[in-house]
Amino acid sequence: MEYVYAALLLHKLDKEVNEANLTSVVKASGVDVNEAQVKSLVAALADVNIDEAVKAAPVAVASAPAAAAPAKEEKKEESKNEEAAMEGLSSLFG
C-alpha cells in the first residue's frame, strides 16, 4: 500500500512516477524497498491516467457522529465498507 501512496504523492507534486522517484519516497518513509514491487507498480501505472483513476475511485464519506456510540455490529460493517473501498482503489493500481 505504501507504494501506491508514494505514487499518488509523486503525482500530486507533479513529479514523474518512475522507479527512482518511487524508491526515494518509499525509503524516506522508513520502509525497506522491494524493487520488484516498485518495478511492477511503475509498469502498471505506465498507461494509467492517475487523475481519472482517482476521480473514478469509490470514496468513503464520513458521516456526522451519532448521538450514541455505534453498536459492535455497526462498527464491523463500517470497517468492511472502508476495506472494500480501499481494495477498489488498490485494484486500479495493480
Question: What domains are defined for the chain?
Answer: 2-92 (1.10.10.1410)
Q: What is the mean pLDDT of residues 49-64?
A: 78
- pLDDT for 28 equals 93
Phi, psi values for residue 70, rounded to 5°: -65, 150
SS3 assignment for 18-61: CHHHHHHHHHHCCCCCCHHHHHHHHHHHCCCCHHHHHHHCCCCC
Q: What is the pTM of this model?
A: 0.57
- pLDDT for 10 equals 92
- pLDDT tens sequence across 20-46: 999 999 999 898 999 999 999 999 888
- pLDDT for 57 equals 81
- pLDDT for 18 equals 93
Measured CA to CA, the distance from residue 3 to residue 42 in angstroms comes to 10
Q: How confident is the model at residue 90 (pLDDT cuts 50, 70, 90)?
A: low
